[in-house]
Amino acid sequence: MTERRAKVTISIRVADDGLAARLAALLEGSEDLRIAQDGEAADLGLSEADDGETGIEALTPREQEVIALLAEGLSNKEIAARLGIAPDTAKFHVGRLLDKLDATGRTDAVAHAARRGIIHL
């Protein structure tokens, strides 16, 4: 006898109604998934990332400069000198990048950024 699994309810929250409809159409084809109605609790949610593409919070122009310099292997002091900012400010930017990219360190941040197309090595 085959055991029947419970359906997983998915909530879709994207700004583009056309995209939401296409996602719903794709997901409704599965016997194990069900699209949640507005206001209904869901087991899983699909929503747009802050930057709409990479799944991470969008990087500021300064953070984009800093991640590019991290990719060159520069230290906080070297980043500060290159950008004309204080070393503590460079350290702050690096810390924000680690948080935004969910990275464990500088090298991991560069790897995450490269995989997500933020920088090109």
69 lies in some domain? yes
Q: What is the pLDDT of residue 108?
A: 92
Q: What's the average model confidence in pLDDT over 104-108?
A: 93
Mark whether 41 and 67 lie in a shared domain.
no
State pTM to two decimals: 0.55
19 lies in some domain? yes
Amino acid at 26: L
108 lies in some domain? yes
Spatial CA neighbour of 115 closest among 65, 77, 85, 71: 71
How many domains does one find in the chain?
Answer: 2
Separation CA 76–CA 91 (nearest Å): 6
Q: Is the pLDDT of residue 22 over 70?
A: yes
The residues that bridge with 16 in the sheet, in sequence order, are: none
What confidence category does residue 57 fall into, taking pLDDT thresholds of 50, 70 and 90? low
Q: What is the pLDDT of residue 79?
A: 95
Which structural domain, as residue segments, surrounds residue 81?
61-115
